[in-house]
Amino acid sequence: MLSTYRDLFKLPGAARIASGGFIARMPIAMDAIAIILFIYSVDKRFALAGALTAVAAVTTVVSSPLWSKVADRKGQRFVLCIAVPIRIVAIISFINLVLAGAPIWTWFLSIFIAEAGSISMGSMSRRRWVHIIDGQDKHLLATSYAYESLADELVFILGPVITTAIVAAIDPAAGLILGILFLLVGVPLVATHKKSDPGVELHQGEEKQSSVMRNRNLQAIAIPMTIIGGCFSAVNICVVALTTEQDLKAVSGLLLGIWAVGGALSALVNGAIRWKISHGKRFIGYLLGMTLISLTFPFIENLYLLGFVLFLQGTCIAPL
C-alpha cells in the first residue's frame, strides 16, 4: 500500500497539489468555530453566533458549486484569483465591523460576502490529480482520491483544535486571521502550478446543458446532505456553549476533533470492507444512526460522555 503512495508522490507536481490543497482547505474546518468564539467574546449571545454561522453555511453550500462550474469554464486560476481575494477582504471587514460595534446587519452582510467567495479546494485538488495522472498510471487515481479523503478528515480533526488553541492563547479574532493566512499560503501553491492546471472544459456549440440538480438520484442525496450541514453548525455551537458554561471553552476544539476522528476511522474501515449491502441501504442506515445519536445531545452534560457520543456520531458521518 505504501509503495502505491510513493508512486503517487513521485508524479510531477504531486507534492505541490497535496500540500497546497491541504493548507488551503484548512479554513473550512475553522470558520464555524472561529466565528462562534469571536462573536461570543464580543456579544455574549450564542443565538447571534449561531445565526451568523448558519448564514455562512448556507452561503457556502450555494457558492462552492457555482465557483466549481466557473472553474470548468474559465479555469481554476481565474476562480482562485477572484474568489479568494473577495473572501479575505470580506473576513477582514467582518472582524473590523464587529470590533467597531457596527450595526449587526453589516456583520451578516460581510460574512455573506466572505462565504460567497468560498471555493471547494478539495474538488479542485482532485481535478488536478486527474489531470496529472496519465493512462498508464490510472491505478493511482484511486490512491489520489484516498489521500484526498484522508486530507479532508485530517483538516476537520486539526482545524477546531488549532482554532480554539490560538484563540485561547492570543486573541478571539486569531482563528479567523489564521484561516486567512492558510489561504494566503495554500492557494498560491496551487494556483501558480501550471503543469497540474486542468485548464478549461470545452463545450461544443451552443447546446444548453441541463442542471445536474434535476437528476432525482442526486436530489435524494443532496437534500439530506444539506440538512446534515445544518446539523454540523448546530453541533459546533452547542459544543462551544456547553464547554463555555463549564469554564472549559478551550476543550471545545478537542471535542470537535474527536468527532472528526470517529469519521476518519470509520472512513478507513468502510473503505477496506467489501460490502454486500447496497450503497442506498448503507446510506439510510448511517443517516438513521446519525439521527438517533443526535437525540441524546440535549441530555448530556458530562464532557467525557459528550466526547464519546460525538465519536460515535462521527462514525456515521464519514461513510455518508
CATH number, residue 159 = 1.20.1250.20
| pTM of the predicted protein model | 0.84
168 and 225 housed in the same domain? no
What's the number of domains the chain is made of? 2
In a domain, 204, yes or no: no
Boundary (domain end) residue, out of 199, 224, 245: 199
* Secondary structure of 108-175 in HEC code, one letter for each residue: HHHHHHHHHCCCCHHHHHHHHHHHHCCHHHCHHHHHHHHHHHHHHHHHHHHHHHHHHHHHHHCCCCHH
162-204 pLDDT, tens per residue? 999 999 899 999 999 999 999 999 999 999 998 888 888 665 5
20 and 106 housed in the same domain? yes
CA torsion angle for 193, 1, 23, 172 (degrees, to 10)?
Answer: 180
193 and 234 housed in the same domain? no
Side chain identity at residue 166, one-letter code? I
DSSP at 101 = T
295 and 147 housed in the same domain? no
189 and 219 housed in the same domain? no
In a domain, 2, yes or no: no
Taking residues 203-224, report their average pLDDT: 66
91-137 pLDDT, tens per residue? 999 999 999 999 999 999 999 999 999 998 988 999 999 888 876 67
219 and 145 housed in the same domain? no
Neighbours of 205 (CB within 10 A): 5
70 and 118 housed in the same domain? yes
Given a cut of 70, whether residue 87 has pLDDT beyond it is yes
**Highest averaged pLDDT of the listed ranges 32-46, 204-218, 274-288:** 32-46
Q: Which domain holds residue 166?
A: 12-199
192 and 220 housed in the same domain? no
104 and 145 housed in the same domain? yes
167 and 236 housed in the same domain? no
In a domain, 205, yes or no: no
Boundary (domain end) residue, out of 174, 199, 224: 199
231 and 138 housed in the same domain? no
Boundary (domain end) residue, out of 131, 166, 199: 199
User: What is the percent of the chain where pLDDT is above 70?
Assistant: 93
In a domain, 6, yes or no: no
